[in-house]
Chains A and B, each alone.
Chain A
Amino acid sequence: MGSYLSNTPEEQRRMLHEIGFDSFDALFSHIPEEVKTGELKLPDGMSEMEAFGRIEEMADKNVRFRHIFRGAGAYNHYIPAIVKSVSAKEEFVTAYTPYQAEISQGILQSIFEYQTMICELTGMDAGNASVYDGGTAAAEAAAMCRERGRQTVLVSAAVHPQVIEVVRTYCYGSNTKVVLIPEKDGATDVEALRRNLNETSACFLMQYPNYYGIIEDAGLLGTIVHEAGAKFIMGCNPIALAVLKSPAECGADIAVGEGHPLGLGLAFGGPYLGFMAARDRMVRKLPGRIVGETLDREGARAFVLTLQAREQHIRREKASSNICSNQALCALTAGVYLAAMGAQGLKQAASLCISKAHYLQRKLEEAGLYLKYAQPFFHEFVTVSEKRSDDILAALQKEGFLGGLPVNDHEILWCATEKNTREEMDRLAAIVKEVSHEADI
Chain B
Amino acid sequence: MNHPTDLYYSKSHEWVKFLDEKTALIGLTDYAQDALGDLVFVNLPEAGDEVTAGEAFSDVESVKAVSDVFSPVSGVVAEVNEELLDAPERMNEDPYGAWLIKVENITEKEELMEADAYIRFYESEE
Contact = CB atoms under 8 A, between A and B. Distances in A.
The short answer to whether A and B are in direct contact, CB under 8 Å, is: yes
Nearest to B43: A284
A284 B85 CA distance: 12
A278 to B, nearest CB: 16
B1 interface: no
Contacts of B41: 284, 307, 309
Interface string B45-67: 00000000000000101111110
A415 B2 CA distance: 69
A101 to B, nearest CB: 12
Contact of B65 (A307, A309, A318): A309
A54 interface: no
Interface residues of B, number: 9
Nearest to B46: A148
A318 B61 CA distance: 13
B88 to A, nearest CB: 11
A308 interface: yes
Contacts of B65: 309, 314
Contacts of B16: none
Nearest to B63: A308
Interface in A23-39: none
B85 to A, nearest CB: 10
Interface in A128-171: none
A305 to B, nearest CB: 10
Contact of B63 (A284, A309, A315, A318): A309
Interface in B28-43: 40-41
Contacts of A318: 59, 66
Interface of B: 40-41, 59, 61-66
Given A307-B41, A309-B41, 7 more contacts: A309-B40, A309-B63, A309-B65, A309-B66, A314-B64, A318-B59, A318-B66
8 contacts: A284-B41, A309-B40, A309-B61, A309-B63, A309-B65, A309-B66, A314-B64, A318-B59
